[in-house]
Amino acid sequence: MKCAGSVGDTRTDRSGGTFVLPFLFPGICYISFRFVYLLSNPVFLLSLSSTADLRMVQSVLFVCYENICRSPMAEGIFRYMVEQRGLQHCFSISSAGTVDYQSGSPPDERAVEVSVSGGIDISSQRGGIAHLDLLSYDWIFVMDNRNYEDVLSLFPAGTVPPVYMVTHFLPDGAGREIHDPYYGGVSDFEHVFQELCHALGYVTDIVSGGA
């Protein structure tokens, strides 16, 4: 006799009667038992939590002096790199300056020009200033030693600030400064753009876990 709703297979025996192959029903019972077991297993639940953590949005901030040259280019380059990897949903990306002289201003026209030449549009960015909400960022990348000291001074005593030179992960020249091109020409901006592309390739590898 076949149970209503069972998943057993029906076959005809040599006498012409029918019987239910039982091997499928125990399989379903095992799967159900296994599912309940996994849900009650703390190790399994922890692994789910870890997977969820990996999918959390990471906040990344780039900082220079006035937020019109280096950090807007860095923001644009990094945004482009994570988009190329299909990881734009994994990051919240912004930039800021350590002073407010250019707050609300667009990036320097030379920074915009050089970035566009590299296939990146930063023209819609507007200058901002690094505030005390720095604690909300997972990664803060600065351009030079002065930026580094200025940003560190904004953190409360006793904290471990997630502040790095943008070149921190370079295998060659880690920690070197990216100099301000403001008083130079377009060629100086082009040089900074290339330096940032090189450094941010490694940054992207690290902060995205090599994805």
Residue numbers annotated as active site: 64, 70, 180
Q: How confident is the model at residue 211 (pLDDT cuts 50, 70, 90)?
A: low
Extract the runs of DSSP E, i.e. beta strands, from 36-138: 58-64, 91-97
Q: Return the ∠ at Cα 44 (arms to 40 and 46), rounded to 5°.
A: 105
Binned at pLDDT 50, 70 and 90, residue 131 comes out as confident
- Of residues 111 and 18, the one with the higher pLDDT is 111
Distance CA 176, CA 196 (A): 12
Please state, in angstroms and rounded to a whole number, the distance separating the CA atoms of residues 38 and 32.
10
Q: What's this model's pTM, rounded to 2 decimal places?
A: 0.74
Q: Give ∠ CA 156-158-164 in degrees, rounded to 5.
A: 75
